[in-house]
Amino acid sequence: MSTGSAPPILETKALTRSFSGFTAVNSVDLTIGEGTVHALVGPNGAGKTTLFNLLTGFLTPSSGTIHFQGRDITGMDPERIVPLGLARSFQITSLFEQMSLLEHLELALASGTGLTRKFWKSVKVLGRFHDRGMQHLEEVGLADRANQAAGSLSYGQKRALELALALALEPKLLLLDEPTAGMGLEDVDRTIELIQRLRHGRTVVFVDHNMHVVGSLADEVTVLQSGQILAQGTYDAVRADERVITAYLGESHA
Ligand SMILES: Nc1ncnc2c1ncn2[C@@H]1O[C@H](COP(=O)(O)OP(=O)(O)OP(=O)(O)O)[C@@H](O)[C@H]1O
Ligand SMILES: [Mg+2]
């Protein structure tokens, strides 16, 4: 259960969340090493998304603790957690179709500064975020489309724009829930390359059902089953674990 030599950026102790008697996340001790890419896998309903919701403050734990960079963030709201450097990407089903990619980034950057609505509507103010917006679009390979309407993007490109919007939150730890869901092979490989690039200077925890994605990206893998950690280690070690083969990999390879 170690993360090698990397000091922990995130640590949970006995983290638990119940929904009216049903325990979705059950006494999870999770340690994420700084600078690592960590995959969270497990069958449907294992508690992966619930765990992400707990880490990002979208759900309050029933019990247990969460420390981020040594600081107790248990029970904090997302509004307080995001500025500390812990953010997730959301699947945005309603990007503003008419708005350009750069405008999406500028709005995200401006709203992160706490400026009032009236203030950040001004084109002049948004212009301040031009360079940083372009930088995040470059990071996800969309810089050449900066002035196109978001509505003109393919599905894979929209998911990349969502990643750029998450990067605008300046996360030290970035959580990605199923970054390749619904993608064809080409977009999956493009997303793997993208995460390889954006991991530099950041820590990434992602959930994915695609074992090719997990094997390509993860330094360490945690397998969750019925809300509990079943196994943890390198992809190869976890893949060879009998309990994992029975509980999960065996099932998905069947
Ligand atoms: N708000 C809620 N109220 C009641 N039960 C919930 C709630 N959120 C999640 N659950 C239950 O908790 C369990 C874990 O759900 P969760 O969404 O965390 O699973 P998951 O591992 O992300 O699954 P998937 O791979 O399908 O996304 C499920 O049985 C789910 O029905
Ligand atoms: Mg889920």
Taking only the tens place, the pLDDT of each residue in 150-203 is 999 999 999 999 999 999 989 999 999 999 999 999 999 999 999 999 999 999
Flag whether pLDDT at 148 surpasses 70.
yes
Atom 7, ligand 1: residue with shortest CA distance: 19
Taking only the tens place, the pLDDT of each residue in 208-254 is 999 999 999 999 999 999 999 999 999 999 999 998 888 765 555 44
Does residue 218 lie in a domain region? yes
| Edge-first strand listing for the sheet containing 228-233 | 86-89, 173-177, 203-207, 37-41, 220-225, 228-233
Which ligand is nearest the CA of 25, by number?
Answer: 1
The rounded percent of the chain whose pLDDT value lies above 70 is 88
Does residue 52 lie in a domain region? yes
Q: How would you classify the pairing of strands 173-177 and 228-233?
A: unpaired
Does residue 175 lie in a domain region? no
Same-domain status, 41 and 69: yes
Task: Give the whole-angstrom CA distance, residue 40 versus residue 175.
Answer: 10
Number of domains in the chain: 2
Same-domain status, 40 and 98: no
Task: Give the whole-angstrom CA distance, residue 226 versus residue 158.
Answer: 32
Same-domain status, 20 and 42: yes
Flag whether pLDDT at 107 surpasses 60.
yes
Task: Give the whole-angstrom CA distance, residue 26 versus residue 63.
Answer: 9
Contact indicator for 88, 81 with CB cutoff of 8 Å: no
Same-domain status, 67 and 109: no
Same-domain status, 65 and 141: no
Task: Give the whole-angstrom CA distance, residue 57 versus residue 122.
Answer: 31
| Ligand 1 centroid, distance to 19 Cα (angstroms) | 10
Q: Which atom of ligand 1 is nearest to the CA of 209?
A: 25
Same-domain status, 42 and 118: no
Same-domain status, 100 and 65: no
Does residue 198 lie in a domain region? no
Same-domain status, 4 and 76: yes
Same-domain status, 47 and 103: no
Does residue 148 lie in a domain region? yes
| Ligand 2 centroid, distance to 43 Cα (angstroms) | 9
Does residue 171 lie in a domain region? no
pLDDT of residue 32: 97
248 Rama class: left (phi>0) / alpha (psi -120 to 50) / beta? alpha
Atom 17, ligand 1: residue with shortest CA distance: 49
Which ligand is nearest the CA of 26, by number?
Answer: 1
pLDDT of residue 254: 42
pLDDT of residue 112: 67
Domain finish residue from 154, 175, 194 = 154
Does residue 235 lie in a domain region? yes
pLDDT of residue 2: 47
Q: How would you classify the pairing of strands 8-19 and 63-68?
A: antiparallel
The rounded percent of the chain whose pLDDT value lies above 90 is 76
Contact indicator for 80, 71 with CB cutoff of 8 Å: no
CATH code of the domain in which 31 resides: 3.40.50.300
Same-domain status, 35 and 99: no
Domain finish residue from 154, 174, 193 = 154
Does residue 138 lie in a domain region? yes
Same-domain status, 76 and 115: no
* Best of 28, 40, 49, 177 for a ligand 1 pocket test (most atoms within 8 Å of beta carbon): 49
Domain finish residue from 118, 135, 154 = 154
Domain range for 143 is: 94-154
Name the least confident of 69-78, 88-97, 135-144, 245-254. Answer: 245-254
Same-domain status, 106 and 45: no
Q: Percent helix, strand and coil across the chain, each rounded to 5?
A: 40, 25, 35
